[in-house]
Amino acid sequence: MNRIEQRFLELKASGRKGLVVYIGAGDPNLSATEALATAFDQAGVDILELGVPFSDPLADGIVNQLAAQRGLESGTTPPKVLQSIQRIRAQSEIPIVLYIYFNLLHRVGVDRFIRDATAVGVDGLLVLDLPPEESANYEALMLAAELCPIYLIAPTTPEARIAFIAPRAKGFIYYISREGVTGMQSKVSSTIAEMTQLIRAHSQTPIAVGFGISNADQAREVAAHAEAIVVGSAIVNRIAEHGHSPDLVPRVAAFVAELSQAIRSLPSSLPSA
């Protein structure tokens, strides 16, 4: 079974909520990315999203744009990211999703990229700018490789389109709780409960809610409505702050452990659709 699907089964069986963490691969360098990945596994992270650096990250706010820029400046390329994942796999079985823009797949060939990703231990892809309506060939290749195609649903997604997207997702559905680009927020959206219930009416795939979660209190609030939460910019911001410090890994891992602890004590029951 795919590691992502297995992890959500384990979370459900143990009555826990999941923590999905995003970082930019190669920020500040790939050695740090590898060290952070193994530290996150030990700190209670359930799924790791690695952003593959891209020159035009349209879905990302300034924090993650700068992380992509630092990744490019450190010489990070898609093949080097895959090599890093292979090294991570020597130490950890943490489920890994690549957060990636379609041009990077298209450049080498979608089939080849999926085969290469599978070979090193990637578990899923979140292709930011590939509309589900145009993903039939991609989906077929992903399912044949037993990788999870992760799809996004937004607050502005009409129910008819939710009904189209939700059944196609494997592993988890990423509900982006705010309009716009990635970034930290001072408070969480007031429509999360309503939208997650609507998504559950069309799919039993676990829902992970992200975009804007900045601290343990917000993590706890959002996790009450989903099987998992996604935290990115708040972590990336700490990597930017401590990127050249010898204490980078323990400092960032300590913050991630706080998030993990914040959601562990929540009841696992969710409202029915």
Give yes or no: 221 in active site.
no
CB 154 within 8 A of CB 147: no
Give yes or no: 49 in active site.
yes
Identify which of 38, 26, 136, 6 has the alpha carbon closest to the alpha carbon of residue 70: 26
Q: Which position among 5, 27, 46, 49 bears the catalytic label? A: 49
In whole angstroms, give the CA distance from residue 11 to residue 240: 31
Identify which of 6, 8, 32, 2 has the alpha carbon closest to the alpha carbon of residue 20: 8
Q: Which position among 34, 46, 60, 227 bears the catalytic label? A: 60
CA quadruple 48, 197, 204, 264: dihedral sign: positive
Helix or strand run (H / E) with residue 69: helix 62-73
Residues marked active site are found at 49, 60
